[in-house]
């Protein structure tokens, strides 16, 4: 485990150094997740709650400190012997209170661990979705740049033909308008990309001057999922929020047991030594004291703890119901996104779009097609490219939502 930790730290350091030298940090989704696990400040802060819960368990098991008191010292008496008394007392907890309190704090520690798991699961999902969104925007920008480059070459060629009358001024103006529209779309894409970059830098705890670029494959491998019933069972057994709901109910049950134990009074044992304080020169004695549980038998706290148990049971049942619906919705969305992605990726037309871009430009110059037909293809090219990239992003994000619903990497 130590060796793996050292390797991860070395990899993180190498990536950060390489990014600083080249002005950009190129990361895959796996590499980004490794850095996230090591450097995310919110995740590191959440771990402190676990340590605090561990400390609470230790504190609950400690005995109360004994009390030592010295009194009855006669400062006005001249010479020896002087009068004084010493008393040592120790409170003894009854009814198994300390053990019950330790048991309750152990459950609280488990809840803190599950809190950390929930935060980790949700933040990993946010990280992955940010990476997928960045990959989508990067691909869209590349398609827009390719369209812009092709259109610029076409405009340059058309300007040369304008003098010879092979192309009219309004037609050239139409092309330049299309180029301006492409530039506007690129500007919006850059703004959206910078927003996602900011989110990713925050998740990875990177400095603002680090330019992050994600490296994602063009295609996504789709694996066959387990049956819906098996996925639901995985969620019921593995979702940390459902486990936490069970632990919350257990915590309140232990609180109820502790409050019931509080009905029994604690004992206070005393050992006393008194010198010249009475008829004897030296007096040593022991004593015991305890509260009389007559008007106050902790009734209010017991009733409140019992109500908390009932409330936690309702919340647990509500969480189970929400979980079932979340798994059903996530599975339906993933199946739909997977079918759409398969249809898009198997369409040969989408793979020929880049080549067709230059073909249509040459056909326009040779008058094989008219300006409206070329402009229609240009818009069709942008639309279909966006459909391709969007289908990939939707599939990846739908898979991530299914992972979040099930509570594990499936």
24-59 confidence digits (pLDDT tens): 788 888 899 999 999 999 998 999 999 999 999 999
Per-residue pLDDT, averaged over 169-182, amounts to: 90
Per-residue pLDDT, averaged over 389-399, amounts to: 93
Q: 324 CB contacts (<8 Å, ≥6 apart)? A: 232
89 - beta bridge partners?
67, 270
Domain residues for 364? 22-61+93-263+298-406
Residue 293 placed within a domain = no
pLDDT at 23: 58
Residue 195 placed within a domain = yes
Q: 386 CB contacts (<8 Å, ≥6 apart)? A: 140, 143
Residue 317 placed within a domain = yes
The Cβ of residue 226 has, within 10 Å, a number of other Cβ atoms equal to 12
Q: What confidence tier does 11 reach under pLDDT thresholds 50, 70, 90?
A: very low
**pTM for this structure?**
0.81
Residue 168 placed within a domain = yes
Per-residue pLDDT, averaged over 367-383, amounts to: 89
Q: 147 CB contacts (<8 Å, ≥6 apart)? A: 182, 357, 378, 381, 382
Residue 187 placed within a domain = yes
- 291-349 pLDDT, tens per residue? 888 889 999 999 999 999 999 999 999 999 999 999 999 999 999 999 999 998 888 77
Q: β-strand 211-214 against 267-275: which pairing, if any?
A: unpaired
The Cβ of residue 87 has, within 10 Å, a number of other Cβ atoms equal to 17
- Here the tokens at position 205 are 């705890």
Residue 172 placed within a domain = yes
Tell me the CATH number at 339.
1.20.1600.10
Asked whether residue 289 carries a pLDDT value surpassing 50, the answer given is: yes
Measure the CA–CA gap between 21 and 24, rounded to whole angstroms: 8
Residue 233 placed within a domain = yes
Residue 251 placed within a domain = yes
Q: β-strand 211-214 against 24-27: which pairing, if any?
A: parallel
pLDDT at 80: 63
Domain count, the chain: 1
Using DSSP's 3-state secondary structure scheme, residue 84 falls into strand
CB 284 within 8 A of CB 272: yes
Residue 266 DSSP code: P
Angle at 122 between CA 327 and CA 35, to 5 degrees: 135
Percentage with pLDDT > 90 across the chain: 60
- 185-204 pLDDT, tens per residue? 999 999 999 999 999 999 99
Measure the CA–CA gap between 214 and 47, rounded to whole angstroms: 28
Asked whether residue 22 carries a pLDDT value surpassing 90, the answer given is: no
Q: How far is CA 335 from CA 203, 338, 343, 407, in A?
A: 29, 5, 12, 18
Q: What confidence tier does 19 reach under pLDDT thresholds 50, 70, 90?
A: very low
Q: Output the average pLDDT for the chain.
A: 87
Percentage with pLDDT > 70 across the chain: 90
């Amino acid at each position: 485990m130590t060796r793996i930790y050292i390797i991860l730290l070395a990899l993180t350091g190498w990536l950060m150094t390489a990014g600083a030298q080249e002005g950009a940090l190129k990361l895959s989704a796996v590499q980004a997740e490794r850095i996230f696990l090591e450097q995310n400040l919110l995740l590191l802060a959440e771990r402190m709650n676990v340590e605090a819960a561990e400390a609470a368990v230790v504190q609950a098991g400690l005995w109360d400190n004994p009390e030592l008191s010295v009194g009855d010292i006669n400062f006005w008496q001249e010479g020896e012997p002087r009068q004084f008394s010493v008393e040592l007392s120790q409170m003894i907890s009854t009814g198994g209170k300390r053990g019950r309190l330790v048991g309750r704090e152990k459950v609280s520690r488990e809840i803190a661990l599950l809190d950390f798991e929930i935060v980790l699961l949700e933040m990993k999902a946010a990280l992955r979705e940010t990476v997928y969104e960045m990959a989508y925007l990067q691909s869209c920008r590349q398609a827009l740049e390719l369209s812009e480059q092709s259109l610029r070459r076409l405009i340059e060629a058309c300007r040369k033909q304008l003098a010879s009358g092979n192309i009219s001024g309004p037609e050239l103006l139409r092309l330049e308008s299309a180029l301006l529209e492409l530039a506007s779309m690129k500007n919006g894409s850059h703004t959206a990309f910078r927003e996602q970059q900011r989110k990713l830098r925050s998740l990875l705890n990177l400095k603002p001057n680090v330019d992050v670029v994600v490296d994602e494959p063009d295609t996504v491998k789709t694996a066959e999922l387990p049956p819906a019933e098996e996925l639901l069972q995985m969620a019921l057994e593995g979702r940390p929020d459902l486990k936490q709901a069970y632990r919350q109910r257990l915590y309140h049950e232990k609180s109820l047991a502790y409050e019931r134990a509080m009905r029994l009074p604690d004992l206070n044992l005393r050992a006393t030594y008194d010198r010249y304080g009475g008829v004897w020169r030296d007096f040593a004695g022991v004593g015991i004291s305890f509260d009389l549980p007559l008007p106050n038998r902790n009734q209010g706290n017991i009733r409140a703890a019992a109500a908390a148990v009932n409330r936690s049971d309702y919340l647990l049942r509500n969480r189970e119901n929400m979980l079932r619906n979340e798994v059903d919705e996530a599975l339906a969305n993933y199946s739909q996104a997977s079918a759409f992605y398969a249809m898009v990726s198997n369409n040969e037309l989408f793979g020929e779009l880049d080549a067709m871009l230059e073909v249509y430009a040459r056909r326009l110059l040779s008058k094989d097609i008219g300006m409206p037909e070329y402009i229609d293809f240009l818009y069709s090219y942008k639309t279909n490219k966006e459909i391709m990239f969007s289908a990939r992003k939707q599939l990846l994000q739908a898979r991530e939502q299914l992972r979040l619903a099930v509570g594990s990497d499936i």
